């Protein structure tokens, strides 16, 4: 009984962890933001130019979300015109090694 109860709560915890993963990588652009940042620090406009197909609003919105998830951090400089830099947090950089697995998941399903 004790064990099966613990199993249930572990399964639930696993669900939450997986949902958190989905929060981080799902969405049309999140993964590409992570890839384009990598180990670099980049300005907003620089990211914008690297991803010409995402709208400004959505890019900013996604950057905000990733910041509030703890994946990214941003630094604003009091200059005119404004300068804002984005980079992965330490935890965020921990995601990078796993992106290869994501590649391996989709690869076999390409020729359909």
Partner DNA sequence: TAACTTACACACAAAAAAGTTAGTAAAAAA
Partner DNA sequence: TTTTTTACTAACTTTTTTGTGTGTAAGTTA
Termini Cα distance of the chain: 46
The site map against a copy of itself for 52-91 (x = CB under 8 A) is -----------------xxx-------------------x
Q: Which residues of 67-90 are buried (b: 16+ CB within 10 A; e: fewer)?
A: eeeebbeeeeeeeeeeeeebbbee
**Partner in contact with 109, chosen from a copy of itself, DNA, none, beta carbon below 5 to 8 Å by kind:** a copy of itself
Q: Does 108 bind a copy of itself (CB under 8 A)?
A: yes
With beta carbons less than 8 A apart as the criterion, state whether 83 and 89 touch: no
Pick 81 or 108: Cβ nearer a copy of itself:
108
Distance CA 6, CA 3 (A): 5
Q: Does 91 bind DNA (CB under 7 A)?
A: no
Q: Does 88 bind DNA (CB under 7 A)?
A: no
Distance CA 64, CA 85 (A): 13
Q: Does 2 bind DNA (CB under 7 A)?
A: no
The site map against DNA for 37-76 (x = CB under 7 A) is ------xxxx-x----xxxxxx-xxxxx---------x-x
């Amino acid at each position: 009984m004790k064990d099966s109860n613990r199993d249930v709560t572990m399964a639930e915890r696993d669900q939450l962890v997986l949902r958190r993963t989905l929060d981080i990588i799902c969405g049309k652009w999140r993964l590409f933001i992570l890839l384009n940042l990598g180990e670099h620090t980049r300005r907003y406009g620089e990211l914008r130019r690297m991803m010409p197909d995402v709208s400004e609003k959505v890019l900013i919105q996604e950057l905000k979300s990733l910041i509030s998830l703890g994946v990214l951090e941003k630094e604003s400089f009091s200059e005119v015109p404004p300068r804002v830099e984005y980079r992965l947090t330490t935890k965020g950089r921990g995601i990078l090694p796993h992106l290869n697995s994501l590649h391996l998941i989709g690869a076999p399903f390409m020729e359909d």
